[in-house]
Structure 1
Amino acid sequence: MGIDQWTRVDDYIADTLLGRDPILDQVLAASADAGLPAINVSPAQGQMLALFARMVGAKRILEIGTLGGYSTIWMARALGEGGRLVTLEADPAYAEVARANFVRAGLDGRIEVRVGLARDTLPGVEAGGIGPFDMIFIDADKPSNPDYLAWSLRLSRPGTLIVWDNVIRDGAVADAVSDDARVQGVRRAFELAAADPRLTSTAVQTVGCKGYDGFALTLVGA
């Protein structure tokens, strides 16, 4: 069993439980036409993010790593009344594609895109007093995961849910001597989360159309 079978099951899940969404299909097509890499979350993962947002009653969401805005749209649709989502994107070209996609989805009024390296834009998010955020989705450069976790804690409150994507790395996360900076970034963030008594965390391995990977969940306590 491999990625062909995993993709077949993902397609079945999407067709059976999610149904077709013409707007999201257009968002993916527009991103592909603009040459963005096809590394967005799967439809099932997008629905998972939306469910998480609803479960925590999110009215303020922070996303680190926008790409074409596919995951952003899933979460923004799940915001509570008067909710706001701030998404950070390093690449100006990607940000422009995402902005157009937010207009396409009719969500540009509740989503703010900030362009620049997250380490440069996160201080402005804090200074602007937008937080604390109810949910934070980390899906950017993996070597910076320890920094993103630290910033997430500064911008959170007791009860904030932090979701980190792509943490399994085809199983390489278990390799302590890996020379891959992405693997080491995930491992260091895991260590920091485990050492912080305020945090309760877990990680789940997944297979699907995106291959073998997984995500982590961290709940911020008092």
Structure 2
Amino acid sequence: MPHEIPHSSGLSPIRDARVLEVIQRLNSSRRHPAREAFDGPSRYDAHAFAEYGFSIHPDQGDLIYLLCRAMSAKRVVDFATSIGMSALYFAAAMRDNGGGLVIGSELVEEKAAIARANLADAGLADFADIRVGDARETLRNVGGLVDFALIDGWPSPEGPSLARSVIEIVAPQLRVGGYVLNDNAEPDFIEYIRDPASGFISTTLPIKRGTELALKIA
């Protein structure tokens, strides 16, 4: 059933009513598949869940917006874009910083199309490049140093998680002083980001059952 996820404070740092209207619409129409949908082999197939927009929590979005504004971010990575919730927060920050680009990656073409439509509805289409395909390919070259990256993912039947694979591709493109926010705390992502050799320091925030925020220091 659709349900609303309110902000914990009741107030977003975003002031643009057009952007907030789209965010509110997406929050109020959230739908989640039944738990048993994740029990079979289709749990590893993102296309099997094409009708569901898995999205960040508003508190995560507010944090993304504030940090991007504080650091005057100009180039950010959004994985996975899904229907565009996180891209809206990123793109709003890019515009309010005076210009910039969100490089999004989404495997399911139908979701990417919805994300683009949501960005257009919010007046933010000019600040986003939503790429369709496997992020391990679409994010290999994002055209310059990245200020901030959101790394989410999808379950893998074997081998490293997508979050781990994608951070290994994005990290070399992230500038020193750049941030990485991880949504689902995949164990091998956490292992990577907390390894001193990775060049990051990180902390776990009490948002959405644990959100990892990492800073690149080397």
TM-score, with length taken from structure 2: 0.75
**Unpaired runs of at least 5, structure 1:** 1-6, 168-185, 208-212
Distance in 2 between residues matched to 1:95 and 1:16, nearest whole Å: 28
**Unpaired runs of at least 5, structure 2:** 32-49, 156-160
Q: How many residues align?
A: 187
Name the amino acid aligned to 1:188. Answer: D
Distance in 2 between residues matched to 1:156 and 1:53, nearest whole Å: 14
Name the amino acid aligned to 1:141. Answer: W
How do 1:93-108 and structure 2 match up within 5 A? 93-108=110-125
* Aligned partners of 2:59 and 2:207 also within 8 Å: no
Residues 1:49 and 2:64 aligned together = yes
Residues 1:196 and 2:196 aligned together = yes
Residues 1:68 and 2:69 aligned together = no
- Report the counterpart of residue 221 of structure 1 in structure 2: 217
CA shift digits 1:33-87 (9 cap, x unpaired): xx73253122222112111211222111111101110111011111221211110
Distance in 1 between residues matched to 2:7 and 2:58, nearest whole Å: 11
Distance in 2 between residues matched to 1:221 and 1:104, nearest whole Å: 37
Distance in 2 between residues matched to 1:134 and 1:109, nearest whole Å: 18
Distance in 1 between residues matched to 2:98 and 2:25, nearest whole Å: 25
Distance in 1 between residues matched to 2:27 and 2:126, nearest whole Å: 20
Deviation at 1:122, TM superposition (A): 1.9
Percent identity (aligned):
25
Distance in 1 between residues matched to 2:11 and 2:131, nearest whole Å: 35
Per the alignment, in what secondary structure is the counterpart of residue 13 of structure 1?
A: coil
Higher RCO (Cα < 8 Å, 6 or more apart): 1
Residues 1:141 and 2:154 aligned together = yes
Residues 1:13 and 2:8 aligned together = yes
Which residue of the other structure, out of 178, 192, 198, is the alignment partner of 1:160?
178
Which is further off, 17-26 or 196-205? 17-26
RMSD over equivalenced CA pairs, Å: 2.7
Distance in 1 between residues matched to 2:162 and 2:7, nearest whole Å: 35
Name the amino acid aligned to 1:158. Answer: V
